[in-house]
A = this chain, B = another copy of it.
Amino acid sequence: MDFHEPPVFPRGFRCGALHCGIKASGEPDLALFASERPASAAAVFTRNQVPGAPITVGRELIRGGALQAVVVNSRVANVGTGAEGVARARRMGRAAARALGVEANHVLMSSTGVIGVHLPIEKIEGALPELADALSDDPMVGARGIMTTDTHPKAVSVPLPVVAADEPEDGPPILTVVGKGAGMIEPNMATMLVYAFTDAELSPEVLDRVLRRTVAGTFNMLSVDSDTSTSDTCAILANGMVGPVDEEVFAEAMEAACTAMTEMLARDGEGASTLMRITVSGAATLDDARTVAKSLVNSPLMKTMVAGGDPNVGRILMAVGKCFDAQVDPDRIGSAVNGIPVLDGGRRTDFDNEAVGRQLRTDPVDLTVDLGVGEARARAWGCDLTHGYIEENTGYYGPSS
């Protein structure tokens, strides 16, 4: 699939970002995404049992199946803040609605940052009118506004193929996905903060179905550090300004765009130097394939093996074997690193250490593992574990979600 490079917004969507005073650094800490008209919408949220106040409110809002804007702050996550936190999340949504002149129940809010601290809501309310007045057509502006420990803004956009007869004069509909990740990233049901926008016409039911299916095989198979955030949110808005698209075509575009975003998030994990892409095949069931892929991508010894370019491939056997409930035959496990076989029938192959070491130091590292007991396959994404992760997370009050 050909992506727009650089990413563009679908028709009718704009965004903005500014520094409203929450981050001490003066970097953008408030972002706003808005559609010219109400959009069909769907969203999934973290399964963490101590969810942020925006998640509690977001679950209510999304029942309506419609959104027109998303307002996001960084540095303070509004988690562990009780009824007052919920009240402040609602105030944040209402302030954005007033500034944009849209309905309050059409504004989704997200907060990311330190847990257990109250949202400086007056700063947000004070800044929203200015923010709403200066929206841009460039999705990277909003992508930059939602960053915490991310090292670069992240957005992708793809054209949605339509049958030639239906092709609108100014081009096909577009799907654009904006996201952030970095740390506290092993999403379950959704990832950190990802927003998808399209000018195609799609019902909330189709959006919900496609979103859940896409998330299961992309963001839910991503892990930077095995810690599931309290703020994970993935929402999609379809404003229908260009026209209808086929559900399967849309699902394919979502798969491609969300896979690309997942790889960006993995590669930019806290301290990461390399994307690790792990493909497990020959599993007895899809669950087994996913479990083994997640075990490999989360193992600190696998992650340091990649960071060090050290072909200590016995660790692959360990990480497969510690999946106690998956069907595993120690004598059938095969594996390759960027195409070089390193395990065959559960035994180390006679590979060249230098050559495999070089592959482990390239980006990405594609590790394939064949369990040899069935037909199911799954892929997981992650990153290596370096001194940079320790640096980022031992600092006093480093951004935590």
Contacts and interface: CB of A to CB of B under 8 A. Distances in A.
B330 A80 contact: yes
A327 to B, nearest CB: 9
For the complex, would chain A's binding face be called helix, strand, loop or mixed by DSSP majority?
loop
A184 B81 CA distance: 37
Contacts of A81: 347
A48 B324 CA distance: 6
Contact of A401 (B77, B115, B314): B314
Contacts of A4: none
A29 to B, nearest CB: 18
Contact of A227 (B186, B228, B299, B324): B299
Q: Which of A79, A80, A323 has the most CB of B within 10 A?
A: A80
Given A301-B184, A330-B80, A400 B49 contact: no
Interface residues of A, number: 71
B398 A318 contact: no
Copies of this chain present = 2
Contact of A225 (B77, B301, B345): B301
Nearest to A384: B394
A314 B80 contact: yes
A300 interface: yes
Interface in A335-372: 343, 345-348, 353, 357
A397 B348 CA distance: 14
Given A308-B396, A312-B397, A394-B310, A229 B318 contact: yes
B226 A300 contact: yes
A320 interface: yes
6 contacts: A51-B321, A80-B314, A227-B299, A230-B317, A304-B390, A318-B400
